[in-house]
């Protein structure tokens, strides 16, 4: 005998009290589900004392639709506060969700998913009835107290998500690359998808949103494994030591970061539809290292970084992101670890690992929420200096005394990344943590690339003559002149390295070379101005930036052409 609807809903009301429990009602067998033209699956994914996030999947068994509208009513005082992948409105207890412009098509047998965040007090019972365009739907089964729990579709996490897997090719970046002369040679390479503002979750400025990328990834996946690379990048007071990539959230807007940015991302990534994907998150670039190197009393300190250290919102934000995203079975979090030319000095190196561990144990996170670390993201540090090592000396002087190395312990990213991993394990991170190195722009090929060691005249001549990295100073980071594509993305290329990746999509600008009014929260940083003579963070050297660059993240054709020209290994 089937359960009565009354008993079923009473049971669901009890289940609703459990945080994170999937809530779905089983329609009694005597209703005749075969004749129902639609099915709705409503799941509460996260729940706390005053709020919750939910995911809704609608399957259409009737005629194909070009637009759709889903409605339900709450029995309690639930209020929808924000949503994604649907336009959601509420009048009293009645809620209406209609399609966005990009997901109105709903074929026969097809499904569409959307999500939202809500508030409540008391009981958060699931709605009893849903309609699709006015027709009552079946409420899909699975969450009642007598039903067995759904099995974990992914099983335990693998040691290296890149091992044996393809990596997602962003069709938007691929199209930009293919449109450039010669760009088809690399248009099939995987790159990171940057979620650099709240609007990017649903898609802003005509670009694909997160669900659209994940749906495309399912198509690319086929029968094998596939990694999707996301950049989680929207902390309050973001990039406190720079201006070109300042974010939309002010220094104190930590609650908005949690509820309007991380929570919606987590809700989408937790959708069972995407459980077969391996999702790699690179978490908050250029944030925590700033709290080591650019705070008082250091000469490189900025007031903004002092503010972010004092209010703790970088620590809270990273911890919250690691906790929420790390709880998802098929998600792998890699925390930003700067690069050797930033953190390779004795007074930065160990302190940076300590600070990352502080964040990784804040806001409910643990070190087990960290799959590894990523270095050199959107930077230019050479992967491997072939023609000198940190242990070399010339006429009794160590290369550490050269102006280029400047007492750093590391001369390239590979040695730095391997040492960073060892220090992280030493400080309590799991022994299986891995490293990613962004090689999108650190090839430094072309005619300026050295073919052998520098002359042994003195230590500066030796280092400058043989160094692969041709920047003026390792502190230069914006649209560097002379750079080239580096090693192509590949899994397990060296000991302790999970993958070489192109997390920064080649051809996307680091920042504008002059002030450009915009609504993206992006300021003008003089380090992107080729006429700038520098600051303490680059030892007051010229910026080395290319001219006529657009806003950060916008397509920069001249840079893309130079990156291909100077690629190493060279492009065929």
| Cα dihedral 139→141→143→146 (10° resolution) | 130
Pair 436, 497: CB distance under 8 Å: yes
Residues 391/382, Cβ–Cβ less than 8 Å: no
Is 339 annotated in a binding site? The answer is: yes
Q: Which residues are known catalytic residues?
A: 239, 286, 510
Taking residue 534's Cβ as centre, other Cβ atoms within 10 Å add up to 18
**Residues 6+ positions from 374 with CB-CB distance below 8 Å:** 282, 334, 335, 336, 337, 435, 436, 437, 438, 501, 503
**How far is it, in rounded angstroms, from Cα 105 to Cα 459?**
66
407 annotated as a binding-site residue: no
H/E stretch holding 321: helix 313-326
- Check whether 477 is labelled as a binding-site residue: yes
In this structure, what token pair is assigned to residue 471?
Answer: 């920047």
E strand or H helix that includes residue 51? strand 51-60
Give dist(CA 310, CA 291) in Å, integer.
10
**Distance of CA 148 to CAs 54, 141, 144, 156, 337, Å?**
21, 11, 8, 20, 42
**508 is known to lie in a ligand binding site:** yes
Q: Is 458 annotated as a binding residue?
A: no
- Listed in sequence order, the residues at least 6 apart from 539 whose beta carbon sits closer than 8 Å to its beta carbon are 406, 473, 475
Give phi and psi for 372, each to the nearest 5: 170, -160
Q: Is 342 annotated as a binding residue?
A: yes
Closest C-alpha among 198, 45, 55, 204 to residue 116: 55
Nearest to 106 by CA among 73, 129, 135: 135
- 196 is known to lie in a ligand binding site: yes
Q: Which residues are annotated as a binding site for substrate?
A: 194, 196, 339, 342, 379, 477, 504, 508
Q: Which residues are annotated as a binding site?
A: 194, 196, 339, 342, 379, 477, 504, 508
């Amino acid at each position: 005998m089937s359960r009565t609807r009354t008993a079923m809903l009473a049971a669901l009301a009890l289940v609703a009290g459990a945080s994170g429990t999937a809530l779905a009602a089983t329609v009694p067998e005597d209703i005749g589900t075969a004749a129902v033209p639609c099915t709705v699956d409503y799941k509460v994914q996260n729940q706390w004392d005053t709020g919750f996030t939910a995911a809704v999947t609608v399957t259409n068994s009737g005629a194909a639709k070009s637009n759709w509208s889903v409605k339900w009513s709450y029995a309690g005082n639930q209020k929808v506060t924000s949503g994604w992948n649907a336009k959601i409105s509420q009048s009293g207890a009645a809620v209406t969700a209609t399609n966005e412009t990009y997901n109105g098509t709903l074929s026969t047998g097809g499904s569409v998913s959307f999500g939202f965040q809500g508030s409540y007090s008391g009981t958060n019972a699931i709605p009893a009835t849903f309609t699709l365009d006015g027709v009552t739907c079946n409420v899909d089964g699975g969450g009642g107290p007598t039903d067995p729990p759904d099995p974990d579709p992914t099983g335990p996490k693998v040691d290296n998500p890149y091992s044996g897997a393809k990596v997602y090719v962003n069709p938007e970046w691929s199209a930009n690359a293919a449109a450039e002369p010669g760009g088809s040679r690399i248009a099939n390479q995987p790159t990171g998808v940057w979620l650099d503002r709240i609007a990017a979750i649903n898609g802003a400025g005509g670009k694909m949103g997160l669900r659209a990328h994940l749906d495309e990834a399912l198509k690319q996946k086929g029968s094998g494994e596939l990694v999707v690379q996301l950049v989680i990048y929207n902390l309050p007071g973001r990039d406190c030591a720079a201006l070109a990539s300042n974010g939309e959230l002010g220094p104190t807007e930590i609650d908005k970061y949690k509820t309007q940015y991380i929570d919606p991302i987590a809700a989408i990534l937790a959708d069972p539809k995407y459980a077969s994907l391996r999702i790699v998150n690179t978490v908050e670039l250029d944030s925590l290292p700033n709290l080591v190197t650019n705070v008082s009393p250091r000469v490189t300190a900025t007031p903004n970084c002092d503010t972010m250290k004092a209010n703790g919102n970088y620590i809270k934000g990273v911890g919250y992101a690691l906790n929420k995203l790390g709880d998802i079975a098929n998600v792998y979090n890699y925390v930003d670890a700067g690069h050797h030319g930033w953190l390779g000095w004795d007074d930065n190196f160990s302190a940076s690992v300590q600070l990352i561990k502080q964040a990784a144990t804040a806001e409910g996170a643990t070190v087990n929420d960290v799959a590894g670390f990523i270095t050199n993201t959107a930077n230019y540090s050479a992967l491997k200096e072939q023609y000198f090592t940190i242990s070399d000396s010339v006429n009794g002087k160590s290369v550490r005394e050269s102006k280029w190395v400047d007492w750093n312990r590391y001369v390239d990213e590979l040695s730095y990344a391997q040492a960073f991993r060892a220090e992280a394990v030493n400080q309590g991170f799991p022994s299986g943590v891995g490293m990613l190195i962004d090689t999108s722009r650190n090839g430094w090929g072309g005619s300026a690339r050295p073919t052998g060691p520098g002359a042994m005249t003195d230590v500066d001549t030796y280092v400058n003559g043989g160094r692969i990295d041709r920047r003026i100073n390792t502190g230069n980071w914006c649209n560097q002149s002379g750079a080239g594509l580096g090693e192509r993305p590949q899994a397990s290329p060296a000991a302790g390295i999970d993958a070489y990746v192109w997390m920064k999509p080649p051809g996307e600008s680091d920042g504008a070379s002059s002030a450009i009014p915009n609504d993206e929260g992006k300021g003008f940083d003089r380090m992107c101005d080729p006429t700038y003579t520098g600051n303490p963070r680059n030892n007051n050297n010229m910026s080395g930036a290319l001219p006529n660059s657009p806003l950060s993240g916008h397509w920069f054709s001249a840079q893309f052409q130079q990156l291909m020209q100077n690629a190493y290994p060279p492009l065929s």
